Amino acid sequence: MKTPQRLQGLVDEGLVDSVVRQLMSGKEAMVYVVRCGDETRCAKVYKEADKRSFRQAVDYTENRRVKNSREARAMAKGTRFGRQVSEAIWQSAEVDALYRLAAAGVRVPTPHNFLDGVLLMDLVTDAHGDAAPRLNDVAFSPDDALRHHASLLQEVKRMLCAGVVHGDLSEFNVLLAEDGPVIIDLPQAVDAAGNNHAQRMLLRDVENLRNFFGQFAPGLLRTHYGDEIWHLYERGLLRPETELTGRFVRDTGPVDVRAVLREVDDARSEEAARRLRMQTPRQ
């Protein structure tokens, strides 16, 4: 196919030899299958902020650093330069998270380069060598659901031990490769120790996995892995090899009404995002 303008820079630099086809168009980026020498990879082209629907929520961007006070002031004022800085930080967050998690052994696509708002990384494939499907596009037997759920909990633990919370983990952000699930889409990843909302996001990530796989293995719906994982993490007891039980007894105490209302708002936003993803074509 004709090389899209946003990918021409990678072609000029010799990082990409040819563009095979468009793989998908999502809320924040377009993904293309490309050839790099003998390798088939994918190129994620981030959409400009005014052309995508994903909101850079304050919860996600909290504690992300800028280079200097000028950039911070520009971001606070919402100037054109400030929006450019904010966009660059948002995009680089996924790149940084991918390199960090790949080094920690987390099952994410291996990143290769990042140039002009385009992330070049491995193409995740199925047993036939085709682009791997999202979990949302696959039906599972009870045994397979339990197996893949356990595998993803292992990745959640490994991510948290590396200091990262995905922040938007669901059946829409996991691909089913030939050798198991692979986690994708990390621009909203947060620092577990540096973001005040990390616990809430971790619990939501694990709940999303529980609810999805619980459709096929209903026993999962009675588990509380998220609370257990965070409890161990807070006390410095979490390791990738830590055995989980899925059981957790919450402390009883006064109800935080603001926190409850915030959870309700988050649930509404998540449902709206899910409906949007369901409408997103995969080509």
Alpha carbon distance 228, 26 (integer Å): 33
Q: Give the integer Cα–Cα distance in Å for 268 and 227.
A: 21
Question: Among 9, 14, 31, which residue's Cα sits nearest to residue 22?
Answer: 31
The pTM for the full model equals 0.79
Query: Which residues belong to the active site?
Result: 168, 185
DSSP letter for 125, please.
B
Mean pLDDT, range 44-70, rounded to an integer: 56
* Of 95-99, 216-220, 271-275, minimum mean pLDDT range: 271-275
Residue 264 has pLDDT above 50, yes or no: yes
Residue 279 pLDDT greater than 50, yes or no: yes
Q: In what order do the strands lie in the sheet with 111-115?
A: 18-25, 29-36, 39-46, 118-122, 111-115
With vertex at residue 251, the alpha carbon angle to CA 250 and CA 255, rounded to the nearest 5 degrees, is 100
Phi and psi at 242, nearest 5°, equal -60, 130
The percentage of the chain sitting over the pLDDT mark of 90, rounded to a whole number, equals 64
pLDDT at 63 over 60: no
What CATH number is attached to the domain comprising 12? Answer: 1.10.510
Q: Are 49 and 64 in contact (CB under 8 A)?
A: no
Q: Write out the two tokens for 16.
A: 């990409």
pLDDT tens across 13-44, in order? Answer: 999 999 999 999 877 889 999 999 999 999 99
CA 169-170-171 angle, 5° bins:
140
Which domain covers residue 76, as residue numbers?
Answer: 5-279
Indicate whether 219 pLDDT > 80: yes
Is the pLDDT reported for residue 275 higher than 90? no
Q: Which residue has the higher pLDDT, 108 or 274?
A: 108
Across residues 193-202, what is the average pLDDT?
92
What's the pLDDT score for residue 268? 63
Q: How many domains does the chain have?
A: 1
